[in-house]
Structures are given as C-alpha cells and as structure tokens.
Amino acid sequence: MEYILHIVIMLNIYILLVLSANLPVGLANLLSICQAAFYGIGAYFSAYFLLQWNLPFVVVALIVMCLTGLCSLVVSFASVKLKGDYFVLATLAFQMIVFTILYNWTEVTRGPYGISGIPSVKLFGIISLSGIYGYFALTTVLSLIVILLFGNLKKSPFGRVLTAIRSDELTVLSIGRNPARFKNYAFFISAAFSGLAGLLYASYISYIDPTSFTLDESIFILTALFIGGIGNIKGPVFGALVVVVLPEILRFVGLPDAMAANLRQIIYGLILVLLMYFKPQGLMGELKIKN
Amino acid sequence: MLLKIKNITLSFAKGKDSFKILNGLNLDVPKGKITALIGGNGAGKTTLFNIISGFQKDFSGEISYCHCGLDPQPPLRLENLRADKISRLGIGRLFQSKGLLPHLTLLDNMKLCSNDTSGEFPFAYLFRNKKLLAIENEKEMKAKNILTQLFGENNKYLGMLNAMGCDFSYGEQRLLSLAGLFMGNYDLLLLDEPTAGVNPVYIENIKDIIRKMVAAGKTVLLIEHNMLFVKDLADIVAYMDDGQIKFTGTPNEIINNQEVKNSYLGIE
C-alpha cells in the first residue's frame, strides 16, 4: 500500500511540474529546458526555510513560490524576446548555471553531499505532516487545486492572449498587447509552481542533492509534456501519469536492473519518435508541437 | 490630416551594397477618407505599413499622428513607439495574407481585438468577479452586434462563434478579421491587400465593410492591386514607385496617368 501511495505522491509532484512547463511551452510557445532548475531552486529554498525557520507550510510555500518566480525573471527578462533556438539556448544556460551553483557552492548547498534531515511541513504551523498518508493527502489536494487553477488560467482572458501569442506574435502586437510582458508572466507562474513542487519533494523525501535537478530532469519533464500533449490540462496530467507509472510497470516485467534503466530511456525515445510521426499533438494534447 | 508622413528613408544593407527601399517618401492621409496605396511588387508599400505600425525601425523621417479625440491634442510622433503602443493609440492593421488566429474560437478572436484588456492579468479571472464577467459579456454582445451589422440578422457566423479560427475558409477569415477591427477603438485602419485571394462575392462584402468603417468615422489606408476595387472605393489614390509617392490624385486621375498606365497597369 505504501508503495502505491509513494507513486501517487510522486505523480502529484510531477503533475505540478508538467502543468507548470505547459504554460510557457504549450501556451506561450517558449521551449524552456530549465524547469528542473526552478524545481531545484524551490527545493533548496524550502530546505533553508524549513531547517532554519521551521515556518508553517502555507508561509513557506508562498515565500518559496515568490522567490523562485523572482529567479525566473533573471532568465525571462533577458530572453523572452529571443526566438526559437536562441531562447532554448538561454534556458539551457540558466539550467547549467543553477546546477553548477548548487553543485559547487558547498558552504550554502553542501554541494554533492546534499542537504539531509529536512523536516516535514507543518500545516497551519501546528500539525506536523509526517508519514506517507499525510503527504498523499497534501499532494493530492494541491495537485487538484493546481489543475483547477491552470484550467481557469487557460480559459481566462490571460490564457486567450497566451494562445494568441503561440499562434501569431505579430498579430498580438498589432492589437495592442505586448507579448514579452505576457511571456514574463507565464514564465513567472511556471517557475513559482515548479518551486512549489520542489518544496513538496524536499520535505517529503527529506533529502536533496543537485543530481535531482539536472538537465536530464528538465528533459524528462518536457518528455512527459510532449507525450501527454501540450496546450490543455488533461495532456500534461496524462503525460505525468505515463512517465511516473511506466517505470513502475517495467519493474514487474522482470528485466535485470542493469537493463531496466536503459530500456526506460529507449521506450521514452521510441514513444517520442512515434508521436512526432503519428500524433504530433501528443496523446491527449490540443496543439501540435511547433518547429 | 490624421497622419503625416515626411521624408521617410529606409535602406537595407547586404554585404557592401545598400538598397534603398523607401527614398524620401511623403504622404498625407486625410481623416475620414479612404486612401489607396498602389504600386508594383517590391515598391515598399507593406514596408511603409510596417513603419507606420511600428514593426519596422531604423528608418529616418517623421510620422505625425493626430489622434484627435474630443480634446484637440498636438500630433504625436510615432517613430520611436513600439507596435503595441501604436495600436493602443488607435491604429489598427489587417496583415497581408493573414486570417483569424487558428487556435482561438471566432468569439475569442473578436474579443481579443477589443482595446479593453481587463482580466488579462494572470489569475484576475480566478474569482470571476461581477465586473470582469460583465466586461466579457459586453465584449460578446459587441461582437454579436458587429457581426449582425456587417452580415445581417441570423447570419451563419452568429451560430459559429465557438468554431475555431482554422475552421473557416480563407475568404471568411479575411472578412471576419476585418469585422474584428470594429471591436477596437481604432481611428486609422491599415488594410494590406484585403481582397487578395478572395472570391468576387466576398470582395463585394469587403467593399461594404470598408464603407461601413468610414461611415463609423474611421480613416482607411489601403494597399491594393485590384484596380476596380480601388476605383470603386478610394477617395484618394497614391501611386508608389522607387520608394517614393510619385503621384497622388483621385482614382480616375491616377488610372489615366500615362506613367502609371505604362509602368504599373501595363497599358500603352
């Protein structure tokens, strides 16, 4: 039972991450490959506030989301006006910089040793949320709230402008909207919710180190997004389900451990190639992936 | 004059060579009239539109825009303004060969053309407060009214408000894009080849829509190659060649001009 609950908790965390990635990638047409950097920034800020201040969950969540969002402005202000590959390179650079800082600034992050003993979050400042059942409830409620929030965002006038930006930036400019401003908003929100996922991860696992927030992790989040599909809510949720549950199913196939990890990569690659050919909008997505 | 364009020069450099696209161009666009800009391919007509609407920078010259509301105000200089700011001043644009936004419904396409940006801040719509819902409803009503005025009572588009932009034919998309321009409070409309690729029935519809634009107090600056359309519609025609306005006059004066006949219309 605890094994299944653990999978659901990780699924809920990945739903947050993949939905966050969908906002810039799926709606605003910003192929960002630094989602894991925001996830990591959120996790490390959370570790600091939980270890040093032991603040209530809501307070830590708000602080972490704001700080991670502010960090996103470093990359978004400089790069949202870049197009296509140049934007991807800018986010790649940010991802590498964040990883290098997390890995080498040992006085603060403890570098490769990571930070251990991160306490569980305290709901309302009193009830310490320990144990897998508590995290199952918390992450499930939060992922449902985030699904509703992002659903509302997509249907809102803000979502309308983002969808328009994805289709044609020049037209958006010609009707008096500044696409760069909307892209900054999208990036900020995306980073803030990735930071929230970082908080949940850090407090649930109680140990973090930089290897959880590498470029591979960013690509993994994007893979989930592209498998599920971009532009709507059910696509990213389904994508998260596939990438979290698939490896667990493979465990029961009885493959040798040394082979299982490689096979997983091959399966993801194969799924992506097949999707590009036969279903470019992903399994449940609304929009086709643009070149 | 609503718009005064003075001595616009724009060059593109390629290697060591430099090509002058616009060469000291001057043009006055009078308020409440339809001015048609004609000229051969590559004469710089769309580039001029890009300059007016803020998409093309790095040119020299002056563009003064007299956005006269109720209060008389001094003309505004547009050269250094961003495209979105220029649009908010009241200059709308129909791009060449572009239709509706494909992934938005017809209604959302229309709503997006409105100048009212209320509710476009992230999560502003979260609590669906009465004011924002009222604004959204107003936009919907306005869109329906515009469609009714342009295409008649019970026209088919009223029943297709939730169809995606890409579900309409190209000709319909051009008509509906023009309809969208009524949603914004534009004083000057830049229409880049509105009839290109559109069938004769829709061309008549487009003519009606443009007349209704002028009747609604708007000024139209139009790029067009269809000379019958220009002759029927335009008050003033400006002939453009070599990056300059060579002749300006009534449609008949320009069509009967020998140089225009020889170099543009291909008539001896």
For B169-222, the pLDDT digits (tens) are 999 999 999 999 999 989 999 999 999 888 888 899 999 999 999 999 999 999
- The C-alpha atoms of residue A70 and residue A18 are separated, in whole angstroms, by 20
Report the pLDDT averaged over residues A159-174: 92
> Is residue A29 scored above 90 in pLDDT?
no
For A272-290, the pLDDT digits (tens) are 888 888 888 888 877 766 5
**pLDDT attached to residue A263:** 80
> Is residue A291 scored above 60 in pLDDT?
no
Q: Which of A123-137, A182-196, B209-223 has the lowest mean pLDDT?
A: A123-137
Search chain B and give the residue with CA nearest A164: B101
Residue A116 CA from chain centroid, whole number: 22
Q: For A55, which DSSP code?
A: -
In the three-class reduction of DSSP (H, G, I as helix; E, B as strand; rest coil), residue A226 is classed as: helix
Bridge-based pairing state of the strands B17-29 and B34-39 = unpaired
What is the pLDDT confidence band of residue A238, given thresholds at 50, 70 and 90?
very high
Q: Which residues from B are below 8 Å from A27, CB to CB?
A: none
> Is residue B234 scored above 90 in pLDDT?
yes
* Type of residue numbered B179: A
Q: Which residues from A are below 8 Å from B122, CB to CB?
A: 153, 156, 158, 185-186, 189
CA–CA min distance B89, chain A (Å) = 9
Alpha helix positions (H), chain A: 2-22, 35-48, 57-79, 84-104, 106-109, 132-155, 157-167, 169-174, 179-205, 215-228, 234-251, 257-278
Report the pLDDT averaged over residues B146-173: 92
CATH of domain B3-100+168-265: 3.40.50.300
Q: Which of B56, B84, B161 to mutate to test the interface with A (most CBs of A within 10 A)?
A: B84
Domain ranges of chain B: 3-100+168-265
For B95-146, the pLDDT digits (tens) are 988 889 999 999 999 999 998 888 888 877 777 678 888 999 999 999 999 9
Residues 124-183 of A with CB under 8 A from B: 149, 152-153, 155-158, 160-161, 163-164, 166-168, 170-171, 173-178, 182
CA–CA min distance B4, chain A (Å) = 20
Q: pLDDT over 90 for what percent of chain B?
A: 62
CA–CA min distance B102, chain A (Å) = 7
